[in-house]
Amino acid sequence: MSARVTGMRRETATARTLVLEAPELGDTVAGQHVDIRLTAEDGYTAQRSYSLASPSGARPVEVTVERFEDGEVSPYLVEDVAVGDPLELRGPIGGWFVWRQEQAEPVQLIAGGSGIVPLMAMVRTHAAALSTAPFRLLYGVQDPDRRYYRDELDRRAGPALQVDVRYSRRAPAGAPVGRIGVADLSLLTVPAEQRPTVYVCGPTGFVEAIADGLLHLGHAPERIRTERFGPSG
């Protein structure tokens, strides 16, 4: 189906949010993604998946893309595509890695880098629905300059949403530096005894390390939902 870029926002030096009008896109649920296909003049095509950052049912929809230097698709979406340009979409896709506002149980969101995107859709949906389900977000990012949605998350953080950020390479003065480990998980996430649904999203290596840590802390495998964004970042 065809979509049109109707707006954009720079999130960081290497990431951009695209606002897309897609009249034929079916109803969306927080956590889902779309496939974007680019076709070159010679007919060569390349397709990649991008999670929806916009809340369930919102129009227009939004995706946030991180540029990979030697990437086929992401550099075009982050640097070249312009307002008014058409894009070819397929979706929405996904039924397991989703949060629905009917869910009342505690929710733990754990993001690595661009893995924050679908979790932000869940945060926005949770707020829009005035849901009372306790929400907690642990956001792993290389350094402060690579944080997405900074002002919005700071604004939304409060009794309904607890936000913790961990920096793996460089941190503000006084903040710890390092990858999220089991000690961080036990300190900064909803305990297993509270039977939260845990959503983990990011590069493959990050997701696997976090899922192992959660199992080690006693979370039930069926309560851990994972979304891998591809090669180990």
Q: Is 233 in the site for ligand FAD (CB under 6 A)?
A: yes
Q: Which of 27, 70, 102, 222 binds ligand FAD (CB under 6 A)?
A: 70
Q: Is 95 in the site for ligand FAD (CB under 6 A)?
A: no
Min separation Cβ 194 and ligand FAD, Å: 28
The one segment of 2-10, 16-24, 64-72, 170-178 that binds ligand FAD by CB under 6 A: 64-72
Q: Which is nearer to ligand FAD, 47 or 194 (CB)?
A: 47
Q: Is 169 in the site for ligand FAD (CB under 6 A)?
A: no
Q: Is 60 in the site for ligand FAD (CB under 6 A)?
A: no
Q: Which of 16, 33, 146, 147 binds ligand FAD (CB under 6 A)?
A: 33
Q: Give the chain's radius of gyration (CA, Å).
A: 17
Q: Is 142 in the site for ligand FAD (CB under 6 A)?
A: no
| b/e burial code for range 210-223 (CB count within 10 A of at least 16 → b) | bbebbeeeebeeee
Q: Is 62 in the site for ligand FAD (CB under 6 A)?
A: no
Min separation Cβ 33 and ligand FAD, Å: 4
Q: Are strands 61-66 and 15-21 parallel, antiparallel or unpaired?
A: antiparallel
Q: Is 114 in the site for ligand FAD (CB under 6 A)?
A: yes
Q: Which of 10, 72, 86, 217 binds ligand FAD (CB under 6 A)?
A: 72
Name the β-bridge partners of 71: none
Q: Is 203 in the site for ligand FAD (CB under 6 A)?
A: yes
What 122-127 contacts at long range (C-beta under 8 Å, 24+ apart), as own/partner pairs, is 122/30, 122/31, 122/199, 123/153, 123/156, 123/161, 124/30, 124/53, 124/54, 124/55, 124/58, 125/30, 125/55, 125/56, 125/99, 125/101, 126/99, 126/101, 126/160, 126/161, 127/156, 127/160, 127/161
Q: Which is nearer to ligand FAD, 24 or 70 (CB)?
A: 70
Min separation Cβ 231 and ligand FAD, Å: 4
Query: What CA–CA distances, in Å, run from 149 to 88, 120, 145, 153, 155?
Result: 26, 8, 11, 6, 10
Calpha distance 50→34 (Å, rounded):
5
| CB proximity list for 209: less than 8 A, separation 6 or greater | 179, 180
Q: Which of 71, 106, 144, 191 binds ligand FAD (CB under 6 A)?
A: 71
The one segment of 69-77, 79-87, 122-130, 215-223 that binds ligand FAD by CB under 6 A: 69-77
Binding-site ranges for ligand FAD (CB under 6 A) = 33, 48-51, 63-66, 68, 70-74, 114, 117, 203, 227, 229-231, 233
